[in-house]
Amino acid sequence: MRIGMFTAMQWTPEENPAEVLVALREQVRAARESGFSSLIIGQHLLIGPMGMFQTNPLLGHLVNEAEGMQIGPGVLLLSMMNPVLAAEEAATIDWLSNGNYVLCAGLGYRPEEFQAMGVEMRQRVGRMTEGLDVIKRLWAEDDVTHHGTFFHLDNANAAVKPKQKPRPPIWLGGDVEPAVRRAARIADAWCIAPTLSTKSMLTYLEIFREERNATGQSEDVNCPLIRECFVGSDADHAREASRGPLLFKYRAYASWGQGETTQGDFDAAYDEFAQGRFLIGDEAQVKDEILQYAEIARTDQILLRVQWPGLAHHETLGNIERLGKIISDIS
């Protein structure tokens, strides 16, 4: 069983970015020392007044703290990026991390991000799939020539190729059926969003495996599962410490139109929404839920978000420490 740390490392307007960065370094060190196997960092643009560091520079900054851990973005907004830059940045981080990089990419869903990046939202599927093909070729080949709908290269040689051979693993995110089928066809795994209910997750996992079979690929894939998680000193502490920061985070998701968060008044629906999505409780409760998720999702890789805007640093460290005890028990 592998338990990873997922974070967007966002902060409220009242928090200081310098202090946030110091806290993040300490949290990643604590996660590594507690037995977390990976560090996956999300990406968004233009989310002010909430703050957020950009993903690839931050991953490069944290490679020493995350030594030995698998690291990568989750998800990288590939549909808005030039694949040459994406390929070379990914390969650079693969070398900085001693061959521990994973590329987790997605389409993006916020219109303001597409507008700001000069990309038409209706082109996002084509741009991402074509861009991913270019990345794979740049990682593996010399003298790449490509003339597609969106990108054009003649005899292109990447300045740096990944350390991992034949290439780093590729995960694709997405919380609708076409995205799941696309991940089955062109990626190594589907990365399961924290906003998906257990019911939706299981439905889409069947679709993922069905599509893998249909395309002649093995369905025996460990799809990484992201969940929100807070392990308290007791169940009451867990609920009280996490509720405000999680509400802050998920109000933002709801305002952005993110998947299943948009159904009605989110504040009123919080407790119902949390069921089957959030792992909130004492050590025994959360350990049982982790094991249940691993069994029903048929995965040995669970990514836990342990920090949200407004959660005190000492609470995050306590959460990581208590999760470390669970990791020790189930490893």
Tell me 234's DSSP state: S
Distance CA 87, CA 237 (A): 44
How does 52-81 read in b/e, with b if 16+ C-beta sit within 10 Å?
bbebbebbebbbebbeebbbbbbbbbbbbb
On whether the CB atoms of residues 118 and 45 are closer than 8 A, the answer is no
DSSP 3-state assignment of 76? Answer: strand
What Rg value do the Cα atoms of the chain yield, rounded? 19
Distance CA 104, CA 149 (A): 23
On whether the CB atoms of residues 75 and 43 are closer than 8 A, the answer is yes
For residue 8, the model assigns a pLDDT of 83
Distance CA 309, CA 103 (A): 25
For residue 256, the model assigns a pLDDT of 82
Place of tokens 């069947």: 206
For residue 300, the model assigns a pLDDT of 95
Provide block-wise average pLDDT over 10 residues at a time, the chain (331 residues).
Answer: 93 93 97 98 94 96 98 97 98 98 97 97 98 98 98 98 98 97 98 94 98 96 97 98 92 77 68 89 98 97 96 97 98 86
The angle that helices 198-214 and 177-186 make with each other, rounded to 10 degrees, is 40
Beta bridge partners of 155: none
**Full set of structural domains in the chain with CATH:** 2-330 (3.20.20.30)
Cis peptide leading into 125, omega within 30 of 0? no
Percentages helix, strand, coil for the chain, rounded to the nearest 5? 50, 15, 35
For residue 116, the model assigns a pLDDT of 97
Continuous segment of H or E residues that includes residue 240: helix 235-256
The residue type at 125: V
